[in-house]
Amino acid sequence: MKSLFLSIISLSVFLFSFNSKAQNADDLKQIIIKKYKRVRTTLKNGDPNYVLEMLANDAILFLPNGTEVVGKAALKPFYEKVALTGIDIESTPTAVELLSETTAFEVGIFTSTTKTSKKNSAKYINIWKKIDGDWKLYKAIDQAKL
């Protein structure tokens, strides 16, 4: 009887920890979706500031041509240029996984539409880092050609 009781307790703890992790990943996915909705609105209106706030100071964007844009200071002119185009960008996370309490991995699909209705889509991989209680984009690899 004691053995059965311990087995049930162990199973309950295991299932609770599994569900807790899944819930945290789902919560983070919703946070990311909200961030992307705001990015879409602000960039389309020509404002790169929210994107810049969303970045870690040591963020790196790996571009499809093999170059890297390293650090928030270097990313600022890149996103200012993107914002000037008035492009409509929609990022949709397809999977989010918590790697630790402060690091997460995201895979998604990126769709952009220019003012002339030219469409582009690509897949991306992002690594997020929790800094001072807020999730920041830390590393981004995308195939998009803006």
Kindly report, residue by residue over 118-135, the tens digit of the pLDDT: 999 999 999 999 999 999
pLDDT at 82: 92
What own/partner pairs with CB < 8 Å and gap ≥ 24 does 26-34 have? 26/96, 28/96, 28/98, 28/104, 28/128, 28/135, 29/93, 29/96, 29/106, 31/135, 32/93, 32/96, 32/106, 32/128, 32/135, 33/92, 33/93
CA angle 36, 106, 30 (to 5 degrees): 45
Can you tell me the distance from the alpha carbon of 7 to that of 1, in angstroms, rounded to the nearest whole number? 10
Least reliable range by pLDDT among 3-12, 18-27, 29-38, 112-121:
3-12
Computed over every residue of the chain, the mean pLDDT equals: 85
Closest CA to 61 of 74, 52, 70: 70
**pLDDT confidence band for 75 (50 / 70 / 90):** very high
pLDDT at 64: 86
**pLDDT confidence band for 65 (50 / 70 / 90):** confident
Q: Look up the pTM and report it.
A: 0.80
Q: SS3 sequence, 65-123? A: CCCEEECHHHHHHHHHHHHHCCCEEEEEEEEEEECCCCEEEEEEEEEEECCCCCEEEEE
Residue 28 has pLDDT above 80, yes or no: yes
